[in-house]
């Protein structure tokens, strides 16, 4: 029997944004950059080039590898802060907050740190480059359940390698995989026929 696939922590954000995007990236190996991902990579290059250091009385460790055997997870924290015995992951985002995706990703990092270090991780921070603001995320029982549910869904997707239908909604305009996904063609059949009708109409006019 094949072992269950390890879920990359980064897949959580992709899945929460769009399950089809997650399948394209993590099952089919498709990747493409757009303005958002290029901005994000630049911001991460700056974070990655930073060294471990002390800042305002706390130890800041950069680019820390993470894993959880219990959850079958692996990834990396942009930074982990240690202050007075408290351990907190920090995630850097170049833009603005979009729903709970970053919170769930951060919580997954916290679950890894708890297992790796044998400590309780009660909260963490997401730093948003758009407003240049740091937002605290408390790891409540509810968010811990949510992230475990998402991990199970991603693992099921990796096992079946099924590509979900394209939602073909406003998310697509901002999506890095828009050119590969072609959501007008790959959404539910009803939408395909509507798309074909619109193409025929455009050609006829």
Q: Are 200 and 194 in contact (CB under 8 A)?
A: no
Q: What would the two tokens of residue 73 be?
A: 């997870």
Q: Which is nearer to ligand SF4, 70 or 96 (CB)?
A: 96
C-alpha distances (whole Å) from 85 to each of 109, 120, 193 are 17, 10, 60
User: Segment contacting ligand SF4 (CB under 6 A): 14-22, 26-34, 85-93, 154-162?
Assistant: 14-22
Work out whether 175 is an interface residue with ligand SF4 (CB under 6 A).
Answer: yes
Shortest Cβ 60–ligand SF4 spacing (Å): 34
Beta bridge partners of 134: 127
Contacting residue, 13, 15, 16, 20, with ligand SF4 by CB under 6 A: 20
Contacting residue, 39, 125, 171, 194, with ligand SF4 by CB under 6 A: 171
Work out whether 167 is an interface residue with ligand SF4 (CB under 6 A).
Answer: yes
Q: Which is nearer to ligand SF4, 129 or 167 (CB)?
A: 167
User: Segment contacting ligand SF4 (CB under 6 A): 27-35, 82-90, 104-112, 163-171?
Assistant: 163-171
- The DSSP secondary structure of the chain, one letter per residue, reads -PPPPPEETHHHHHHHH-HHHHHHHHTT------HHHHHHHHHHHHHHHPPPEEETTEEEEEEEEEEETTTTEEEEEEEEEEETTEEEEEEEESS---TTHHHHHHHHHHHHHHHHH-----EEEEEETTTTEEEEEE--HHHHHHHHHHHHHHHHHHHH---PPP--SGGGGG-TTHHHH-HHHHS-HHHHHHHHHHHHHHHH-
Contacting residue, 178, 184, 191, 195, with ligand SF4 by CB under 6 A: 178
Residues binding ligand SF4: what is the number (CB under 6 A)? 14
Work out whether 14 is an interface residue with ligand SF4 (CB under 6 A).
Answer: no
Work out whether 177 is an interface residue with ligand SF4 (CB under 6 A).
Answer: yes
Contacting residue, 18, 102, 112, 158, with ligand SF4 by CB under 6 A: 18
Work out whether 183 is an interface residue with ligand SF4 (CB under 6 A).
Answer: yes
User: Segment contacting ligand SF4 (CB under 6 A): 1-9, 17-25, 56-64, 88-96?
Assistant: 17-25
Binding site for ligand SF4 (CB under 6 A): 18, 20-21, 24, 166-168, 171-172, 175, 177-178, 181, 183
């Amino acid at each position: 029997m094949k072992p269950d696939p390890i879920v990359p922590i980064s897949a959580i954000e992709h899945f929460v944004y769009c399950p089809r995007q997650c399948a394209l990236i993590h099952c089919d190996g498709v990747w493409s950059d757009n303005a958002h991902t290029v901005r994000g990579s630049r911001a991460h290059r700056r974070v990655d080039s930073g060294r471990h250091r002390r800042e305002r009385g706390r130890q800041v460790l950069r680019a820390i590898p993470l894993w959880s055997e219990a959850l079958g997870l692996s990834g990396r924290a942009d930074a982990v802060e240690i202050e007075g015995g408290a351990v907190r992951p920090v995630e850097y985002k170049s833009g603005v907050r979009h729903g709970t995706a970053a919170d769930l990703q951060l919580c997954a990092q916290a679950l890894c740190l708890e297992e790796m270090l044998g400590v309780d991780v009660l909260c963490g921070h997401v730093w948003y480059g758009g407003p240049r603001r740091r937002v605290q995320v408390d790891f409540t029982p509810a968010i811990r359940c949510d992230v475990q549910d998402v991990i199970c869904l991603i693992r099921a997707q990796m096992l079946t390698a099924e590509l979900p239908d394209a939602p073909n909604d406003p998310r697509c305009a901002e999506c890095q995989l828009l050119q590969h996904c072609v959501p007008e063609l790959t959404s539910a059949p009803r939408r395909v026929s509507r798309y074909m009708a619109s193409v025929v109409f455009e050609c006829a006019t």
